[in-house]
Chain A
Amino acid sequence: MLGLEGQDIRQSNFGWSPVYVDSNLGVLSIGFMLPDPDEAVIWRGPRKKGLIKNFLKEVYWNELDFLVVDSPPGTSDEHISIVQCLGATGMDGAIIVTTPQQVSLIDVRKEINFCKKVGVKVLGVVENMSGLSQPVMDFKFVRMTETGEHIDVSEWVREYFKEKAPELQDLIACSEVFDSSSGGAEKMCREMGVPFLGKVPLDPQICKAAEEGRSCFIDQKCGVGAPALKIIIEKLIENNEFSRVLLNNAYAS
């Protein structure tokens, strides 16, 4: 997702070097250590714990304003290990990502309670895949026959719009996809007393950016997803007074 596939970790006398995207964005992952990316890593808990500890002991990050730790889903070995190892040095908190479905929210409540139990502040919850928003003209249009078959009528529909209803052409069509009539993550956050950072819609362009290892903020392609993410990240910075870090950096440069 950072466009670093196939890269290796180098060692210096300071320790393991992160793999750099830019001079100010370094990445470390077991992904860089696998000779064959298709090879399954079939490790039990203790061995995973050992690697996480090694990452924390051996990697030379130099000076960082932020260390972002991406963990797997759940509340098991990796999560216990990272909290035990990093806790003493101070963790600002955790952001929890979910989708709107009730089954996802059930597990988010567990994550929130995990954080409470181990003393990690919940910086907030992000509701991802929060509906699909896409320009109407980017859809395919299908007619279903009596026999249940699907016939692609996209060309015809586009011609039709162009001729008879040009003003409909630049509409955005939205579908909720995952039912959030029970209130979604926002309501759950109110109930659990944690901040709700915002919603990110399903944006095919964000998926593309992720696949291609690009930032979604650089060009205008992620028209729906990028603004949503931006609002969320700014809210996170504001809520936790990280703004001072930005100001310091602005003066420093």
Chain B
Amino acid sequence: ALLAHIPGKAIWIPDHTHTHRASRESLKMEPLADVAMLPGEERVIDKDIIYICPFNAAVKGKVFITNYRLYFKNTDSTPVTLDVPLGVISRIEKMGGASSRGENSYGLEITCKDMRNLRFALKQEGHSRRDIFEILFKYAFPLSHGMQLFAFLSQEKYEENGWNVYEAMEEYRRQGLPSSEWRVTFINKNYELCDTYPTILVVPYKATEEDLRRVATFRSRCRIPVLSWFHKENHAVIMRCSQPLVGMSGKRNKDDERYLDLIREANGTTKLTIYDARPNVNAVANKATGGGYEGDDAYQNAELVFLDIHNIHVMRESLKKLKDIVYPNVEESHWLSSLESTHWLEHIKLVLSGAIQVADKVSSGSSVVVHCSDGWDRTAQLTSLAMLMLDSFYRTLRGFQVLLEKEWISFGHKFASRIGHGDKNHADQDRSPIFLQFIDCILQNNVRVKTASLWSFVNSDTSLYINPFYTSESSRVLYPVASMRHLELWVTYYIRWNPRIQHQQQSPVEQRYKELLALRDQYLKKLEELQLSDSTHLTNSSTPNAATPNQHITHLQTPF
């Protein structure tokens, strides 16, 4: 269930009016009683197996594999089930051989991208493992086997075409663009300027198409600085791009320098701030491979700030360490120091504080340029987080989807390879789960994104992300506090597989809120009825003390 790396619009799979045809194969198999299969999902194999549960003992049961999921159900009394979409599998290994000694030593180990490992044991006789291994391998990594992803096979029908959520022009219009300083260009209509950029770009009004082409030669992968967000009041902007191709010799490019100056001039910023997401040393080191950063002498009206965010490799290792301390068992006595040693939260803090700096600069009226090396990992993190802080629209469910579409998909975040075939596990905490969530959205299209749980991580500003508590104060800038004191592990994501940790289906706060809302509506209804019967009885004598609170409250009613 992955999105191919196609910038801009990806392919929308049209629905066929379709009745689910069960294959001959699946007719022979036991019905998957308690699982509703997705349209287009087909059973492939089922097998008796032992699931070696890390929390209990080994569980005997049956595994069912379809072209979409792995489903395990035990045959003993207490129900243990597993329902794993194949897309979540990053690695499948055989463990033990046919001659291995010991109980349950012959089987499979499956590494998942969702922080768990699953171990299965099979009967040692008769190569019982071979077929299931091969099938699983084939269906879990369909692209490696010349097959299509389930997303393309799915025959699910949706009321709304999810690809229409984001309409670039509409989004720019919402921001108040184009304006006298900023214009929309179609230079990349056929991905000619830059194959990882969207077709519609916003650039300084004074920059000609020729300018853009020349700037593109000086930016890594032709990712020129383009507008990402526009501040309606002070006209400051967030621009995003890739690193300049300075190289060892310290090349300069007059067009690039002039272009950045045009950005600065657009709203009269005295000094354009360039945020380089990388640590200083990394930026320097990049010169060796032809990259680099904007030097002081070349860009006199700009100041360069390094945000010290590490690259995807560091992030991946950090996440790996985190997995080690949370799965299968949570480290108890040295929990805090082991958490610290993963540096995971520290990386989060750096990303957050970088985004705060960007947001702060912009809201104080200065335009900024954000880049890292290629401008599709850390840059996307920073710009989208800053935009979440600055623009309340992005904090709505729909707005959030637009943000993801815009900052991540249209600007070419390499979803396919970052999540891809088990080799790269992408960057930041805030981000990587978003991909998981978003893939879910591609699959189910307009399923509700659980904004609340997604953001419960950044607990500093929970309130505005939890759906029922959302307040629409449009002009409000929201700053989280990027201190370790406030950062905590997103337990419901990272430790969700551990049965001992609290798993509340719904936070008590939310639950209580909903209860109260229901109660209020009930009372309101009752009051209305009473008033109705009142007015029929005596039309003239009103009951002011009862009517006032009613009006007051209906006014306050939040759409729900």
The answer to whether A and B interact is: no
B residues near A, CB below 8 A?
none
